[in-house]
Amino acid sequence: MRRFLGYLEDKFYIPLCEEKAKVLSLNASPSDLFENMTNAEIAGALLVQHVTSLGRGIKAVVASERILFDLIAWGQRQGPEDVSLASEAKRLFDVDKFKSGMSCLREIGLEFLTQEDVLAQDYLLADGTWDYDFRLRHVKRVAAFKVEVETPSGGLLCLSSPQSLIVKSFLAEKDESIHIQGYAGTGKTHLISSLIEFMSPSATLVLAKTQVQLYELTGRLKKGHVVARTFKMLASELLAPIRPHLSMAADDYLQVSDAQVARVLSLGPVGAINPIRVAAICRRAIRRYCESGDITLNKRNLPYIKEQLSNIDSDVMVQYATRIWEATISPAVYEIRFPVRGYHLLKCLSLSNEVIPDTYTHVIVDESHDLSRPILQILDRSPQAVITFGDEYQCIAGPVFQRAKKIRQRDITLSVRAGKDMEGVLNPLIDAHPTKIKLPYEGGGDDPTNVVFYDLSKVPDAASTILVDSEWGMFEWFQRLSHAGVRFSILHGSRNEFERFMVDCINLYHSGTPPKHRKLFFYPTWDALAQGQADNKVFDKIQAMMERGYNIERLKISLLSLDSVSSGGYQLGMVENARNAEYDSVMLAPDLFGDIKQGDVLGFDRKICSLYTGGSRAKFELLVPGYIGDWVSSQKHSVMK
């Protein structure tokens, strides 16, 4: 029998309908119910109350199927005088364990059959025993993966129809680059893994922006031994022969204060801005330059600041930024080492003539909507076929830089994860966006996502991941959750930065200490911050909290509510920190639905992409305000005036 290469192995259907399971969960002693159930249904009920001990994924599938086979076979062997399976079920049934099993079925990879499928009994052989071929047969019938494609190794890929068309398009021109625009949940990672089946692993380079993204992507690939690099690692390798000092100096942890930079490079004041703040502004200008397509530093790279700069002051600021840039990328000649980050390396690489070595025949890039212009310049001039995967609706921070016009593009709109209910949430957002693609999102997964509309902004009754728009929303919900006595965690990788944000707010308000957090850096005083957040209703709540005496000591008390690692309970985070994750339940907090200024197309773009990204993180349940439809319509009308 051929080996199937896909996610079909991780799915199993129990021969019991959800309606009958709910009735069982309401009865502590459901004797009459068992008398009217088939052996397969009874075996399914007994299985449910034991699923919490089975693990997850393929392990749970194998164990579940074995348990069902044994229970049904035992029931079939019992004669008229023997103890029946129904009698044993009455003795063994535990309603609490059954409820617990029901609550985690989908997380484990198990589902109930429909009543129609239960009655059809396609899961039984002629002798009444369990049919081991049923699982794969049924999953292929109800799931989005319906097309079988044979691989060079003789295995079979199970793909959705859109995925199979992309595989065919790739095979027709294997040496040509292609960009795949795929909505959330359309199976881009599965498609990447499928395409690699037709490539030479040692000649295939998989690239990702961060180490976390790379780890998650390669961990889900079916075919091992591909070469995997972050863009920083690739830049370091390619620059080593031409700029060895730069490659060796790369260090994400080296820190140099703005005061040291200003002193060593003899930076002076610019207008009313002191040298230390000048150094901080220049540092941000260099970051913007490194993520742009500009050849030299210029005024466009200067970040927004509250202080007004004359043309001469702007020229001086650019000169100082250029001085820091040259000190960063040149061999060390100063008393301090200037930090070299990944974006410095990538900018230097883009300014050179270096390309990805032709020892690689194919390059695969995920999350391409996050790529900067320098990275795309490197990819588009390299000799091999470069296959990029992205979703422009998940680009929250700014514009999506497109591949070269000569590159083929294909679209995937059919979700293999979410059901039809998600169409009602995501399609109005897609339709309202002023510039991005308008292809409708199609729910095709066999796991329906339950969309719940809420009216009151309160802590969800059951554990959920609460996603907010900004650090201000984080601050509000951090206090709300801790005040409610709820144990919760901050999304992975963002806790330390969020704590710095809160500390900077408190110190700025109470003692006027200049903040260092990237979102507060622009504001030298609390009054300036309040002016800048004049239209932010959530900020008003935080300011009122400060006026009531909220300080570092109270913050320390609130921090006691935090768990260091999520244990499947409540979580809190910003949408931008949740983009590469999925959660069983997601709540989109009200601050994501703030008013947008009239004519602010970029602000509307960011809001739409945030809501799309946050909503598409939900696997089983999505909580949204009841007014979401009216909000989309009114904001679109306001922006388009």
Which has the closest alpha carbon to 387: 181, 150, 236? 181
CA–CA separation, 490 vs 482, rounded Å? 12
Which tens digit of pLDDT belongs to each residue from 150-163?
889 888 888 888 99
Backbone φ, ψ for residue 592 (5° rounding):
-75, -10
| pLDDT reported for residue 502 | 96
Task: Quickly state the pLDDT bin for 3 (edges 50, 70, 90).
Answer: very low
| pLDDT reported for residue 478 | 96
| pLDDT reported for residue 138 | 85
Other Cβ atoms closer than 10 A to 221: 20
| pLDDT reported for residue 28 | 67
Query: Among the residues of 291-436, which ranges form H helices?
Result: 311-329, 342-351, 373-381, 423-432
Residue 361 pLDDT > 70:
yes
Contacts of residue 29, Cβ cutoff 8 Å, sequence gap at least 6: 90, 93
Backbone φ, ψ for residue 493 (5° rounding):
85, 0
Other Cβ atoms closer than 10 A to 147: 17
Lowest-confidence range among 194-208, 308-322, 393-407, 482-496?
393-407
**SS3 of 626, please?**
coil
Are 28 and 95 in contact, with CB atoms under 8 Å apart? Answer: yes
Adjacent-strand bridge partners of 532: none
Q: What is the 3-state secondary structure (H, E, C) of 54-92?
A: CCCHHHHHHHHHHHHHHHHHHHHHCCCCCCCHHHHHHHH
**SS3 of 471, please?**
helix
145-237+350-412: CATH, from 3.30.1330.30, 3.40.50.2300, 3.40.50.300, 3.40.50.10480: 3.40.50.300
Which tens digit of pLDDT belongs to each residue from 340-358?
999 999 999 999 989 999 9
All structural domains of the chain with their residue ranges:
1-142, 145-237+350-412, 253-339, 420-640
CA–CA separation, 262 vs 267, rounded Å? 5
Average pLDDT over residues 59-78: 89
Q: What is the H or E stretch that residue 17 is in?
A: strand 12-17
Residue 292 is given by DSSP the state: S
Which has the closest alpha carbon to 151: 361, 4, 363? 4
Task: Quickly state the pLDDT bin for 9 (edges 50, 70, 90).
Answer: low
Residue 377 pLDDT > 50:
yes
CA angle 281, 285, 286 (to 5 degrees): 120
Q: What is the H or E stretch that residue 306 is in?
A: none
| pLDDT reported for residue 55 | 76
CA–CA separation, 180 vs 410, rounded Å? 5
Lowest-confidence range among 75-79, 129-133, 440-444?
75-79
Residues listed for the chain: 641
Residue 399 is given by DSSP the state: P
Residue 111 pLDDT > 90:
no
| pLDDT reported for residue 349 | 96
Task: Quickly state the pLDDT bin for 554 (edges 50, 70, 90).
Answer: very high
The residue type found at 321 is: A
Across all residues in the chain, what is the average pLDDT?
89
Residue owning tokens 């995501």:
426
Which tens digit of pLDDT belongs to each residue from 570-597?
999 999 888 878 888 999 999 999 888 8
Contacts of residue 634, Cβ cutoff 8 Å, sequence gap at least 6: none
Which tens digit of pLDDT belongs to each residue from 596-633?
888 888 889 999 999 999 999 998 899 999 999 999 99
Average pLDDT over residues 94-103: 88
Average pLDDT over residues 480-497: 90
